[in-house]
Every structure is written in C-alpha cells, then in structure tokens.
C-alpha cells in the first residue's frame, strides 16, 4: 500500500464484513485529502467501535504510516 487512500480502504474493508455495502470516496481540497466513508448505521457502529476506539486506531495507523499527509476522515450515513 503506497497511498493513504489504499491503506484507508484496506483497513476499513478489513474491519467490516464482506456483505457490508460501504462506499469510500476521496477528494483533495487545499492540500488536505478528505476520505469520506458512507455505510449503513449498523456498519458505522462497527467501524467506530465502543467509545470510538476502532476509528481512533485507524487514524493512529494512518498517522504513523503517512506522517506528512494531511487528511480528514469523515463518516456519513
């Protein structure tokens, strides 16, 4: 995985079941990569985890893997 987009997609799809319909969109605004995740509410709950632990872990992994990339991870229903 050479880009933040590939890494984010891999992590998100690894956490959710294969039957989950999740959409991951990317866009760049003012040198910030915006990663937009859209899924059903029950899958969003799985992605966030208790007290936000899973999404925090995803952000930590992305920060450690790509320290120079500015990004914003958005979750939508």
Domain annotation for the chain: domains and CATH numbers: 4-76 (3.30.300.20)
Nearby residues of 41 by Cβ (< 8 Å), 6 or more positions away: 77
Give 2-50 pLDDT, tens digit per residue.
899 999 999 999 999 888 889 999 999 999 999 999 998 889 999 999 9
Asked if residue 1 has pLDDT above 90, the reply is no
- Least Cα distance to 13 among 43, 49, 53 occurs for 43
Cα–Cα distance measured from residue 36 to residue 25, given in angstroms and rounded to the nearest whole number: 5
CA distance 15 to 53: 13
């Amino acid at each position: 995985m050479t880009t933040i987009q590939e890494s984010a997609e891999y992590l998100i799809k690894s956490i959710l079941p294969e039957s989950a319909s999740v959409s991951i969109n990317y866009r760049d605004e003012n040198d910030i990569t915006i990663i937009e995740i859209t899924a059903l509410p029950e899958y969003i709950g799985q992605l966030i985890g208790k007290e936000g632990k899973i999404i925090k872990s995803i952000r930590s992994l992305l920060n450690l893997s790509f320290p120079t990339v500015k990004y914003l991870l958005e979750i939508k229903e």
